[in-house]
Amino acid sequence: MALDWQGKTAIVTGSTSGIGKAVAEKLAAHGMRTVVHGRNREAGETTAAGIRAAGGEALFVQADLLDPEAPGKLVDTAVSAWGRVDCIVNNAALVCNKPIADIRHEDWDRLFFVNLKTPFFLVQRALPWLAQNKGTVVNVGSINGTLNKPDNVIYDAIKASLNHMTRGLALDLRDRGIRVNTLMPGGVATPLIDQWFHQMYDDPAVAQRLADEEKAKPFMGAPEQIADAVLYLCGGGASWINGAVIPIDGGYNIGC
């Protein structure tokens, strides 16, 4: 099957920075019309404008994924603009770095909603178009879905659940020609790392110094490396990959 992305439409959540931005730019550079999503309008419009300036097609949708109406807004905008949805990239995620004693109900609720529940309902809302176009879903998980880290119990548990949801969706949707896979990045030099450290340390200068040191460590990937894998999974060359949960971490999970 040809590696042809031309004229297809992708929705990439959390695509105003980091991995999501790299994915949106990569897909658009290969001919996919791309819905850029985020909460920050200025960052989103800048990302979409940059894609258009490079010759791609993109528009920005501002939506809070804690809003149950967000999946409909994203899908309806894509269909209104381009008449189809071929690929969903569930990239957006929240983090929670807290000792067990400090975790609150709302921490669980927020991460569950954004990191697991909204990805499901985005796929559900897009089903008619994904089925029509034999579409794909790529969930951006985390190596934390298989390797636990200190003070990350909520994030780790929900990322593990995303892996299992991926297999369930793939099983239920394979007869409709829809493929669903998850990529599990290890450390990637993105603003998410800064967010983690600023949650853990009260002193902003200390938090940023430690975040910068973390991003300079071995086995720290680049957003573009994750974007390359997303591009492949969205293309025809990956037509026989379905229900896969794939580490993408430079071999970090093998042992260190």
- Who has greater pLDDT, 19 or 207? 19
Provide the number of structural domains found in the chain.
Answer: 1
Distance CA 61, CA 84 (A): 16
Nearest-angstrom CA–CA distance, 153 and 163: 16
Domain contains 121: yes
By residue range, what is the domain housing residue 90?
9-186+221-248
Q: Is residue 28 part of a domain?
A: yes
CB 4 within 8 A of CB 32: no
Q: Is residue 19 assigned to a domain? A: yes
What is the model's pLDDT at position 41? 98
**104 phi/psi in degrees, rounded to 5:** -115, 165
pLDDT in tens, 94-128: 999 899 999 999 999 999 999 999 999 999 999 99
Residue-wise pLDDT for 46-90, tens only, equals: 999 999 999 999 999 999 999 999 999 999 999 999 999 999 999
Residue 113 within a domain: yes
Give domain status of residue 2, yes or no.
Answer: no
- Where would I find the H helices in 83-222? 105-112, 118-132, 153-173, 191-200, 204-215
Please state whether beta strands 9-12 and 33-38 pair in parallel, antiparallel, or not at all (unpaired). Answer: parallel
Identify whether 198 is part of a domain.
Answer: no
Q: Is 232 a catalytic residue?
A: no
Predicted confidence at residue 163, as pLDDT, reads: 98
Assign residue 243 the CATH number of its domain: 3.40.50.720
pLDDT tens across 123-136, in order? 999 999 999 999 99
In a domain, residue 51? The reply is: yes
Does residue 253 lie in a domain region? no
